[in-house]
Structure 1
Amino acid sequence: MDIGLSSACFYPDLHTENSIEKMKELGFNHGEIFLNTVSEYEEEFIKILLEKKESCEFNVNSVHAFSSSFEPYLFDKYYRRRADALKHFKSVCKATKLLGASCYTFHGMRYTNFNELDKKFIIDIYNELSYIAMESGVKLAQENVSWAMSSDLKFLTFLAEKCKYPTYFTLDLKQACRANVPIEKYIDIMGNNIVNLHINDRDEISSCLLPGKGNLNYKNIANMLKSVGYSGKGIIEVYSDNFSNYEELTKAKNFVFEIFSDIL
């Protein structure tokens, strides 16, 4: 498995456009680009990222948006609010395509009781979003997020069974731990529709650590991913306070690569 890095690791210390060169300097040839604010969805800014990407010979695997600012409102019953959020969604899909990424890492709805959902409304929205993404040439990759509906196994099963178009997924290890849901249960539901993988670690004290700093059993995780045919990239995604110097990110990459390359 090729191991990449998320530009989110550098937030808020580096501007998004400067993170590409830094990731390349640290030995990463690909990664996930986190667009940190609405102005970074604009085409002129994406052109700056594209120039940086090409000059550094860096590949963008996936794109992540400032999701809390608009994604939950894609499911709002107030049409105008939903329409405004959809404009941002379309901009991110376009940015994802322009950067050559294969998928858009999506958080979606905030958590609520599954039984209280207007399920037809939700499926109609997901069908629309998936269609827009497909028209843009990218996959909408629903991430399991502890504070979102996507932490709920029933909800993910519902999407996988009821959506008109294929439901793709980003599996995030730390988010599974935060939701107190065994990672294997997410893998069972997501199956061969996992298209993106966020790698991190955890222990009894912290839910997010650099790979190798906690006690996750990566060999078991790799074997589970192999069993569902995962062949995508692995993206290290932690927070800037999870490391004290950039060299630790390179060490984490080498650690993960050694484990996953033996199995996947």
Structure 2
Amino acid sequence: MIAGVSTACLYPKPLEEALYDLSVNGVSCVELFINTHSELKKGFAHGVANLLRRFDVKCPSVHPFTCEMEPQMFFSEYERRVNDMLEYYKLYFRFMNIVGADIFVFHGGKPSSVCNTELYCERYSKLYRLGKEFGVTVAVENVSRCKSGSSAFIKEIKNMLGDEFAFVLDTKQAIRSNENPMRFLDIVGSKIAHVHISDSGEMGDCLLIGKGRFDFRKFFDKLAGYNPDCSVILELYRSGWSGISDLVSSYNILTRMTESYCGEQKL
């Protein structure tokens, strides 16, 4: 199990500057949030890879800026869009191969998408299989405004998809969907590939670690039982922290928590 921080926390700072700020402050694992098309170019990707190597930083995952287009491009009645989007997503997978990432975060369709569950699984399977050609795992993230925000929906597609399924749990998005994050873990089991984590409580659902009442001990005990090698990424909105030291402090806390799950040792 490994802890990290998303470059999305520093938005709208450019990706490479966000990566540098986190790296120079001792963060050794990051999720890269691609913000625009030009960041998918090979030259840019190699520059990011060089920065990762310079600071010995790992990158387990990539989040696409096109997530808001996924309902229209993957889950509409206009099938040609699917083929075009599959071709475009090869750019992300190529980027991931260059920087060494293997988890791709996928939001999927919204409740308003003209797409039943069977068609949803068919379209997702196409992207999942394409990712595997590049050594990438495309993992569905629970997002409150999407179909994936429902644990019942995740259970349904997990059962339908079998081996062609992976999951990213976002704890704040679960709370925004009036869902228990632990329930998602129990539903997906070993299919949990990645976590976006934050604290939560009376002050909000996207807080720095230690600022809320989230039961991290219980959560990590359960997560370790399903996937002890899972990556756990701090993902906060810019309004949720004041300075880089806040992110580093939360990262250090997460690191101590995840390091406790080595062998037989527990929190």
Measure the CA separation in 2 of the matches of 1:253 and 1:50: 22
How many equivalent residue pairs?
A: 261
Are residue 54 (structure 1) and residue 53 (structure 2) matched? yes
Q: Aligned AA for 2:63?
A: H
Any idea what the Cα deviations from partners look like across 1:171-230, whole Å, max 9, x if unmatched? 111111111101111001111111111111112241211111111011111111122233
Partner Cα separation in structure 2 for residue 254 and residue 121 of structure 1? 42
For residues 32-51 of structure 1, what are the alpha-carbon distances to aligned partners after superposition, in whole Å with 9 as ceiling and x for unaligned? 00001122222232122122
Indicate whether 1:25 and 2:27 are aligned. Answer: no
Between 1:67-76 and 1:238-247, the stretch displaced more is 67-76
CA distance in 1, matches of 2:139, 2:118: 20
Partner of 1:103: 103
Q: Percent identity?
A: 29
Runs of 4+ residues over 4 Å off in structure 1: none
Task: State the TM-score, normalizing by the size of structure 2.
Answer: 0.91
C-alpha displacement at 1:70, in angstroms? 2.8
In the alignment, which residue of structure 2 is the partner of 1:10?
A: 10
Q: Which residue matches 2:263?
A: none
The 8 Å contact of residues 208 and 238 in structure 1, kept in 2 or not, is answered as yes
- SS of 1:60's equivalent in the other structure is strand
Cα deviation 1:61-106 (Å, max 9, x = unaligned): 1000013343222122113333332233221122122211121011
Kept in 1, the 8 Å contact 2:125–2:164? The answer is no
Aligned to 1:160: 158
Distance 1:256 1:166 in 2: 30
Structure 2 residue aligned with 1:64: 63
Q: Which amino acid aligns with 1:82?
A: V
1:126 offset after TM fit, Å?
A: 1.5
Report the secondary structure of 1:207's partner residue.
strand
- Structure 2 residue aligned with 1:81: 81
Gaps of 5+ in 1: none
Residue 35 to residue 256, structure 1, CA distance change in 2 (3 Å): same
Does structure 1 retain, via aligned residues, the 8 Å contact 2:169–2:196? yes
Q: Which residue among 204, 212, 227 is the counterpart of 1:214?
A: 212
Once residues 122 and 35 of structure 1 are traced to their aligned partners in structure 2, the CA distance between those partners, rounded to angstroms, is: 24
Give the letter for the 2:6 counterpart.
S
Aligned match of 1:94: 94
| 8 Å CA contact 1:3, 1:28 repeated in 2 | no
**What is the CA–CA distance in structure 2 between the aligned matches of 1:259 and 1:60, rounded to whole Å?**
19
Q: Which amino acid aligns with 1:149?
A: K
What SS does the aligned partner of 1:27 have?
coil
Given the alignment of the two structures, is residue 141 of structure 1 paired with residue 139 of structure 2, yes or no? Answer: yes
TM-score of the pair, normalised by structure 1: 0.92
In structure 2, distance between residues paired with 1:214 and 1:67: 31
The residue identity in structure 1 corresponding to 2:8 is A
Q: Distance in 1 between matches of 2:133 and 2:163?
A: 12
Residue in 2 aligned with 1:232?
230
RMSD: 1.9
SS in 2 for 1:208: strand
Q: Which of 201, 211, 234 is the matching residue for 2:199?
A: 201
Q: Check whether the contact 1:20–1:56 (CA below 8 A) recurs between aligned residues.
A: no
**Counterpart amino acid of 2:179?**
V
The partner residue of 2:245 within 244, 247, 251 is 247
Q: Which residue of 1 aligns with 2:175?
A: 177
